[in-house]
A and B are shown apart, each in its own frame.
Chain A
Amino acid sequence: GAVVSQHPSWVICKSGTSVKIECRSLDFQATTMFWYRQFPKQSLMLMATSNEGSKATYEQGVEKDKFLINHASLTLSTLTVTSAHPEDSSFYICSAVGRGTNQPQHFGDGTRLSIL
C-alpha cells in the first residue's frame, strides 16, 4: 500500500517551454502533498506544500509564478515549471500524506528535468 506515482520520470525540453509533472497517490487519498527539489548528492529541498482544494504554500525563495502547483483532487497534484531555463534542471520529487493524524510521507520516484 501507500504507492505514489510520479510522471514523467524523465523529460528533456528546450529552454522557454513549460513542463508539467504529475503526482498521484494510487491507493490512498492524499490530503497533503509536498514538492521537493534535489540536486546531485544533496538532500531534498522543500519547495511547497499543497492541500487539496486550497492554494499551495511556497517556501521562501521559491517563485510561485515559476512553479505552479495545483492540487485538484485527493489523488492528484501537478507541478508546472513555466518558461523553464537550464538552471531549472534538477530532480523533482513529490510526496503525499494520507488521511488521519500523523501519517508518514510517501514519495514518488522523482522526475529528472533537463532543460537544454
Chain B
Amino acid sequence: QKEVEQDPGPLSVPEGAIVSLNCTYSNSAFQYFMWYRQYSRKGPELLMYTYSSGNKEDGRFTAQVDKSSKYISLFIRDSQPSDSATYLCAMRGSGNTPLVFGKGTRLSVIA
C-alpha cells in the first residue's frame, strides 16, 4: 500500500460545478496537509495548508482533514475553466521533513 493514494482522474466537470478531490493515507504520523495546484510546465502552487483535523476555507476552496479516517479533501466551489490543472495533495510529519505527494488529479473545467 502506498503512503498516499490519490485518484489520477482525469476529472471533467462543467463550469460552475462543485469539485471534490480527495486523498487517503496510511501513515498516522502525518500532521500537516497541503493541496497544491500545478499548471502544465509550471511548479506547484500552494493552495491550502492545514494542521491536524478540521476544515479550512479560503475563497472558493475548502480543505478538510479527517485524521481518524486518514482522509483529506479539497472542495472547489463555482469552478472556473482557469481551475483546470493538476491538483496534488501532500503531507508530512513534524519539522521540515520531506513532503509525501499523491500522484495528482487532473481536472478539466469545461466552459
Contact = CB atoms under 8 A, between A and B. Distances in A.
28 contacts: A2-B46, A31-B96, A34-B98, A42-B103, A43-B101, A43-B103, A43-B104, A44-B44, A46-B98, A49-B98, A91-B41, A95-B43, A101-B95, A102-B32, A102-B95, A103-B96, A104-B32, A104-B34, A105-B46, A105-B90, A106-B46, A107-B36, A107-B43, A107-B45, A107-B46, A109-B42, A110-B41, A112-B41
Given A31-B96, A44-B101, A108 B41 contact: no
Interface of A: 2, 4, 6, 31-32, 34, 42-44, 46, 49, 91, 93, 95, 97, 101-110, 112
B9 to A, nearest CB: 11
Interface string B82-106: 0000001010001110110111100
Contact of A32 (B41, B49, B96): B96
Interface residues of B, number: 22
Contacts of A32: 96
Which secondary structure dominates chain A's binding surface? strand
Contacts of A101: 95
Contacts of A93: 43-44
A6 B51 contact: no
A80 B67 CA distance: 39
Nearest to A97: B96
A102 B101 contact: no
